[in-house]
A and B are shown apart, each in its own frame.
Chain A
């Protein structure tokens, strides 16, 4: 029996939510489940190229703990998920247009598979399970 792909729509740039999305995506991908992540709205801001961890992540109580404990970095977790499993990441084309960004020059290196529109992502997600964070 083939497993249903997991589709994650990441909307929040809050560190705790980006971290949770990275954990879910990477663990699912290395557990032989195909994963696709659509990053939109404020969630795309932490993925801007060239930021330090202090600049990249904003959040609350657990953000403070993540920054001071040996918790895997969210961007690194997404990268590991892509390297060790079947995972794709898509940047919302609306946000890229509004920010005048493109994936190849403005987002974290070797992480995004390209821009994508919402309609395409939703159509693809009909083949699996969709969660929104």
Chain B
């Protein structure tokens, strides 16, 4: 059964949140999801662009009070 884990990367600067996401995805199983929380403004555009480039899926992206939550599903 697919799992979802949360990575709280708030306070980390570019490209820290992206690298944390990638490290988590590397250990995850195909179908698992990672919910990345980032206060880095670039993450909202960087992470979908990175997912499109390497072939993972952005499931949700939402702005909260001072941070973004981006949920990525490992697709391969």
Residues of A that sit less than 8 Å from B by CB: 23, 26-27, 30-32, 69-72, 77, 80, 84
Contacts of B26 in A (CB 8 A): 84
Query: Within residues 1 to 58 of chain B, which ones have a CB less than 8 A from any CB in chain A?
Result: 11-16, 18-19, 22-23, 26, 50, 53-54
CB contact between A77 and one of B15, B53, B54 (< 8 Å): that residue: B15
CB contact between A84 and one of B11, B16, B19, B53 (< 8 Å): that residue: B19
Contacts of A30 in B (CB 8 A): 18-19, 22, 50, 54
Residues of B that sit less than 8 Å from A by CB: 11-16, 18-19, 22-23, 26, 50, 53-54
- Closest residue on chain B to residue A81 by CB atoms: B19
Contacts of A31 in B (CB 8 A): 50, 53-54
CB contact between B19 and one of A26, A69, A71 (< 8 Å): that residue: A26
**With contacts A23-B15, A27-B15, A72-B19 known, what are 8 further pairs, Cβ within 8 A?**
A26-B15, A26-B19, A27-B50, A30-B18, A30-B19, A69-B13, A77-B19, A84-B22
CB-based contact B13/A70 at 8 Å: yes
**How many Å lie between the Cα of A71 and that of B23 in the bound state?**
17
- Most chain A CB within 10 A, of B18, B19, B22, B54, is at B19
**How many Å lie between the Cα of A48 and that of B24 in the bound state?**
30
CB-based contact A72/B13 at 8 Å: yes
5 contacts between A and B (CB under 8 A): A23-B15, A26-B19, A69-B13, A72-B13, A72-B16
**How many Å lie between the Cα of A23 and that of B53 in the bound state?**
17
Contacts of B16 in A (CB 8 A): 70-72
Contacts of A72 in B (CB 8 A): 12-13, 15-16, 19
Cβ distance B6 to chain A, nearest Cβ, rounded Å: 18
